[in-house]
Amino acid sequence: MACGIIYIFNEVRINIVEHRFRVIVMPRKDLLDPQGRAVKGVISEMGIEVKDVKVGKVIEIVIEEEDEGRAWETVEELSRKVFSNPIIEDYKIEKI
């Protein structure tokens, strides 16, 4: 839920809102996932059979920004440049 904070500087009001996002980063479907393969092997050794395992990561981020569109753009840029390796990973952004 967005929470607004209003800052007043010389009678100019700026409404800063917290925008919360979740970024899910997973290996690309067409590439091998060595971590997933290793985890599947351990699960198999435990006597449990599973068809497939993929190992990814989840990043939750809070951005203080007046404009929600700019907040989305910032998260998109971070996802592309920092959180994922676009050659081997895909990502999905969710507003939370």
Percentage of the chain with pLDDT > 70? 85
In a domain, 9, yes or no: no
The Cα 28–Cα 25 span in angstroms is: 9
Q: What is the pLDDT of residues 45-62, one digit of tens each?
A: 999 999 999 999 999 999
Q: What's the mean pLDDT in 20-40?
A: 95
Q: What is the pLDDT of residue 3?
A: 57
pTM of the model: 0.78
* Domain of 41, in residue numbers: 20-95
In a domain, 59, yes or no: yes
Domain CATH for 74: 3.30.1280.10
